[in-house]
Amino acid sequence: MRSGSKEERNSTDAVLTLHRHTFKHGVHPPENKDDTNGLPIRRFPFSPLIILPVVQHLGAPSKLLVKEGQEVTRGQLLAEADGYMSVPLHAPVTGKIRKIANVPTISGKMVPGIYLEASPSSTQELVEGDGIDPDTATPEEILAGVQNAGIVGLGGAAFPTHAKLKIPEGKRCDDLIINGIECEPYLTTDHRVMLEQSDDIYMGIRYLLKSTGAKRAIIGIEANKQDAADFLSARLPDDLPVSIEVVPVKYPQGAEKMLITALLGKEVPSGGLPIDVHAVVVNVATTAEIGRLLPHGRGIQERVITITGPGVNKKGNYLIPIGTPLRYVLDQVDINGRISEVYMGGPMMGVAVSNLDISIVKGTSGIVVFTDQEVSRPDRIYPCIKCGACVDACPLSLNPSKLGILAKFEAFDEMAKAYHLMDCFECGSCAYVCPSHIPLVQYFRLSKSMVRKRKAS
Amino acid sequence: MSVQTLNISTSPHLTKGLSTETIMFHVVLAMLPMVFFAIYSFGFNAALVIFTAVASCVLTEHVLCKISKKPTTIGDWSATITGILLGLTLPPIFPVWMTFLGGVIAIAMGKFLFGGLGYNAFNPALVGRAILQAAFPVAITTWYGAFQLDRFTTINSSVLAFPFTEPIVDGTTGATPLSAFKFDGITTDATELAFGVVSGSAGETSAILIILGGLYLIRRGFMNWRIPVAILVTVFVFSGLLFWIDPVKYPSPLFMLFSGGLMLGAVFMATDMVASPITSLGVVLYGVLIGALVVVIRIWGGLPEGVMYAILLGNAISPHIDRLIRYRVYGTSKVQGHE
């Protein structure tokens, strides 16, 4: 694994300015990253009340281990993983469990959760577990460590990371791809993590290489973060087979499939996973978190979040405890004007918040706030004029125009069978370019759920 | 912190900020210089023809919306475009009542019958013109010389012909360069054609202004440049080949490019987004097809001009081109549309 490292290093300098591949189509929304990409990560104050839903990941809810009234210490296990597709939950602050009850989530659903009152007098020192040494640990031990740390994809998908790292029987991983693309407009968390947590990232890569058996790692970074690429390549340890590739800015390059195509020139088969082309993709902030937590056996208690948008006065990149109520967050960053829209995640794929009483979860990568000054909704929807803009935007080369027309006729089966509806990952490029303001992604989401429902019944 | 009712919507929350209405409005803008030049070179007659065509299209659209109890769609400018295009393709001394009828047909049959904007299989203006050509073959081939001295003082009597009567041909009629070539074997200098100092339909005569309008739209990203380029290159290459074989029998490629309705058709009519294919490769094939048809009709057909029929045929074929040319879906080895 390490014998090729010298060649890798030599090629690194060349690829910093040279890219070999790109993915087809895509769009260029305004980046709007300049407000926060120069601001170092700052620690956010502890909210007096922390609200923790037990489902912050894709998969089974965590199983509660604590009772009402119990005192807990920061880093202590509050809920354990319930099965393989689940992760545990750790206390983000030292304090007292005030209530165990249903809590609101961004989807509007109430889920079981914990109301945790922070103790103002505590030093907020962390409890730690048993550390894992990347050199001596087995891949299984590393995967268990990742699961025990409660780590999920921090890019926004919140898929349990250990499940993603598990190489299925009969498959192999050649390329470990570290995703530092951050193609969503406004968001700068990955950018700051790369500029400030290089040691954690490289430590994380050691764990990931070991657990996946990959021969090399590639850190993919978009050209608007050249400083991060330069910084990481200057700090690259000699013994790591890592190359850093700078690719041209294009949305949605941060999507796994698109990034694999951009870096490796391969296409992930329809309905398949990156491992089908011998690759595993891990977000750079997730990698840094693995590198920071595993050596100490800690669990995840906080994450970096970009808080930005025209409605925010104190924009920035903040290290915020998981479970901090959104209302508290917005109070701290000084909102100007009247809030009319809040997104969790970026504006292209993020989710609009309908209730400010929800809290920060592990998958929250950004909070973008708009006031009534900036929001202009398209006043009307025109018929599709077949301009073809969506066809030339779709990174999967689907035909959103045709799919949109079929959706209106509720021809869900035809959409799925003949037009590959189920491949759509809802990046929003089609709706972004549509001059007729047709809510294509909304149509496709609905159609996909109808297809799934029909399949199930 | 003050919170009004939170707006919620599904992602994406950003749009490019373009609207169909904006695109259509800019198409109108891009055609205005041609309209002014047509009026300048052909006088009041042309002004009356173009105004009537626009008024009739917009009025028909409005009335049909009202009849079908839908909100009016005249605000999206598409009826205005149809009206201007129709007006520009008619002879400057075309009777007003016929022009009006053409506008009604263009919108009612060319657009509304199919379901309105977005559903028209053909360019509505060409549908209107095709039916006018079939109904009034004499009036629509009665041309009028450009830059007549009295063009700003008199309105030709044929323009004001009483509805449902055929006009009596009066004034000076000038053969168009294409019919002069077709029937008398006379070719016109390409420079004259480019600047529009010849006779012809009101808007067909100044290639330069048409190209400028097209460049403006292409620059703004409102027009697929592949369509006019494919058509014009095909016409140039195809007719150039024929000219090279026999320069006496066949016209020069430059004459072919700049005469008749080719420029207007290639730039403003074949580019109707609704009636043209959706993929980049598809529009190239569509353009090549139209270009080839133009040459075939002009040289071997019975008509002096073939742009209108070439585009209508291209429109008819474009859904089939879309069925034929589809992108390969990412991660698959087959094209979409096949189960």
pLDDT digits (tens, 9 = 90+) for B247-270: 888 888 888 888 778 889 999 999
Residues of B in contact with A157 (CB under 8 A): none
To the nearest whole Å, the CA of A39 is away from the closest chain B CA by 23
In a domain, A198, yes or no: yes
> Chain B interface, mutation test: which of A312, A375, A382, A392, most B Cβ atoms within 10 Å?
A382
Say if B300 falls within a structural domain: yes
Over residues A335-354, the mean pLDDT reads 88
- Give the up-direction half-sphere exposure of residue A179: CA atoms within 13 A in the CB hemisphere: 25
pLDDT over threshold 60, residue A148: yes
B31-45 residue pLDDT tens: 999 899 888 888 888
pLDDT digits (tens, 9 = 90+) for A248-261: 999 999 999 999 99
Residues A291 and A209 in one domain: yes
User: Quick one: which of A247, A283, A285, A288 has its CA closest to A264?
Assistant: A247
The yes-or-no verdict on residue A448 having pLDDT over 90 is yes
Evaluate if residue A453 carries a pLDDT over 50. Answer: yes
Shared domain for A406 and A449, answered yes or no, is yes
pLDDT reported for residue A15: 42
Residues A154 and A267 placed together within one structural domain of the fold: yes
The pLDDT assigned to A10 comes to 40
Asked if the Cβ–Cβ distance from A272 to B273 is below 8 Å, we say no
pLDDT score, position B195: 58
CB B57 within 8 A of CB B106: yes
Using CA atoms of A290, A295, A299, A304 in order, give the dihedral in degrees to the nearest 10: -50
Euclidean distance between CA atoms A367 and A347, whole angstroms: 9
Give the pLDDT confidence score for residue A9 in this predicted structure: 40
Asked whether the CA dihedral A169, A175, A178, A182 is positive or negative, the reply is negative
| pLDDT exceeds cutoff 50 at A23 | yes
Identify the H or E element spanning A117. strand A110-118
pLDDT at residue A21, as a whole number: 75
d(CA A321, CA A303): 7
Cα radius of gyration (chain A): 22
Supply the pLDDT for residue A127: 79
Q: What is the pLDDT of residue A6?
A: 38
What confidence category does residue A425 fall into, taking pLDDT thresholds of 50, 70 and 90? Answer: very high
Q: Is the peptide bond before A252 cis (omega within 30 degrees of 0)?
A: yes
In Å, how far are A367, B42, B205, B258, B338 from B147, measured between CA atoms? 65, 6, 12, 19, 57
Are A107 and A355 within 8 A, CB to CB? no
In this predicted structure, the answer to whether residue B105 has a pLDDT above a threshold of 90 is yes
* Chain B: closest CA distance from residue A366 (Å): 14
Q: Which residues of A touch B271 (CB under 8 A)?
A: none
For helices B307-324 and B280-300, what crossing angle results, to 10°?
Answer: 150
Choose the most confident range, by mean pLDDT, from A7-16, A372-381, B19-28, B259-268. Answer: B19-28
The rounded mean pLDDT for chain A is: 89
Asked if pLDDT for residue A451 goes beyond 80, the answer is yes
Q: What is the distance between the alpha carbons of residues A319 and A164, in angstroms, rounded to a whole number?
A: 25
**Averaged pLDDT, A395-421:** 92
What distances in angstroms separate CA B328 from CA A258, A393, A406, B318, B324, one per listed residue?
15, 14, 19, 19, 12
Q: Which of B247, B254, B231, B268 is nearest to B89 (CA)?
A: B268
Nearest CA-CA distance, residue B179 and chain A, Å: 35
Q: Express each pLDDT in A278-302 by its tens digit.
A: 999 999 999 999 999 999 989 999 9
Bond before B277 cis per omega within 30 degrees: no
Q: Are strands A302-308 and A366-371 parallel, antiparallel or unpaired?
A: parallel
- For residue B314, being part of any structural domain is answered with yes
| Alpha carbons A339 and B2: distance in angstroms, whole number | 7
Given A60, A84, A118, the domain boundary residue is A118
Residues of chain A above pLDDT 70, percent:
94
Taking the C-alpha atoms of residue A397 and residue A393, their distance in angstroms, rounded to an integer, is 8
The 10s digit of each residue's pLDDT in A101-123 is 999 988 888 999 999 999 887 77
For residues B283-310, average pLDDT: 89
In a domain? residue B3: no
Residue B30's domain comprises 20-324
Number of residues that this document lists for chain A? 457
pLDDT above 60: residue A36: yes
Q: What is the pLDDT of residue A2?
A: 35
Q: Do B14 and A399 touch (CB under 8 A)?
A: no
Q: How far is CA B150 from the centre of its chain?
A: 28
User: What is the number of domains present in chain B?
Assistant: 1
Report whether pLDDT(B146) > 70.
Answer: no
Q: Which of A267, A378, A382 sits opposite B15 (nearest CB)?
A: A378
Per-residue pLDDT at A14: 40
Contact A312/B at CB under 8 A: no
- Residue A197 pLDDT greater than 80, yes or no: yes
State whether A94 and A154 are in the same domain: no
Predicted local confidence at residue A338, as pLDDT: 79
For position A16, what pLDDT does the model report? 44
Question: Tell me, what's the pLDDT at A3?
Answer: 37
Q: How far is B9 from chain A (nearest CA, A)?
A: 6
CATH number reported for the structural domain that contains residue B123 in this entry: 1.10.3430
* Confidence (pLDDT) at A5: 40
* Cross-chain Cβ contact A372/B15 below 8 Å: no
Inform me whether the pLDDT recorded for B116 exceeds 90.
no
Establish if B273 belongs to a structural domain: yes
Give the pLDDT confidence score for residue B198 in this predicted structure.
60
Instruction: Tell me if B2 and A339 make a contact (CB, 8 A cut-off).
Output: yes
Cβ under 8 Å to B: A residues 263-282: 267-272
CATH number at residue A114: 2.40.50.100
Whether residue A190 is found in the same domain as residue A218: yes
For A126, left (φ over 0), alpha (ψ -120 to 50), or beta? Answer: beta
The residue count for chain B: 339
* Helices A226-234 and A198-212: angle between axes, nearest 10 degrees: 70
DSSP conformation letters of B225-288: THHHHHHHHHHHHHHHHHHHH-TTTS--HHHHHHSTTHHHIIIIITT-STTS-SSHHHHHHHHH
DSSP H stretches of helix in A73-225: 139-148, 161-165, 189-196, 198-212
* B301 within some domain: yes
> Does A380 fall in a domain?
no
Domain limit, last residue, from A118, A149, A169: A118
B6 with A269: Cβ contact below 8 A = no
pLDDT of residue A340: 83
On chain A, the residues whose CB falls within 8 A of the CB of B330 are 23-24, 257, 261, 267, 270, 395-397, 423
Report yes or no on A44 lying in a domain.
no
| Percent of the residues in chain A that have a pLDDT greater than 90, as a whole number | 70
pLDDT tops 60 at residue A74:
yes
In chain B, positions 233-262, which contact chain A (CB-CB < 8 Å)? none
- pLDDT beyond 60 at B337: no
CB pairs under 8 A between A and B: 175
Predicted pLDDT of residue A8: 40
Q: What is the rounded average pLDDT of the residues A381-402? A: 92
pLDDT of res. B216: 95
Residues A30 and A170 occupy one common structural domain = yes
* Residue A289 sits in the same domain as residue A323: no
pLDDT tens digits, residue range B168-225?
A: 555 445 556 666 666 665 666 666 665 555 656 655 667 888 999 999 999 998 899 9
User: φ, ψ for residue A186 (rounded to 5)?
Assistant: 75, -35
Domain that holds residue A64: 49-118
pLDDT at A100: 92
Q: Which residues of B touch A29 (CB under 8 A)?
A: 14, 16
- HSE-CB at A446 with a 13 A cutoff on CA atoms is 14
CB pair distance less than 8 Å for B20 and A385 = yes
Does the structure show a pLDDT above 90 at A412? yes
pLDDT value at position B171? 47
Same domain for A259 and A364, yes or no, is: no
Mean pLDDT of chain B: 84
C-beta atoms surrounding B8 within 10 Å: 15
Structural domain tally of chain A?
Answer: 4
- Give the pLDDT of residue B166: 64
C-alpha–C-alpha distance, residues A102 and A357, integer Å: 12
Q: Give the SS3 label for residue A352.
A: strand
Residue range A204-221: average pLDDT?
A: 94
Query: Looking at the structure, do residues A57 and A97 belong to the same domain, yes or no?
Result: yes
Determine, yes or no, domain membership for B331: no
The string of pLDDT tens digits covering residues A352-390 is: 998 888 999 999 999 999 876 655 666 688 889 998 999
Q: Is B329 on the interface with A (CB under 8 A)?
A: yes
pTM beyond cutoff 0.90: no
- Comparing alpha-carbon positions, the chain A residue that sits nearest to B8 is A352
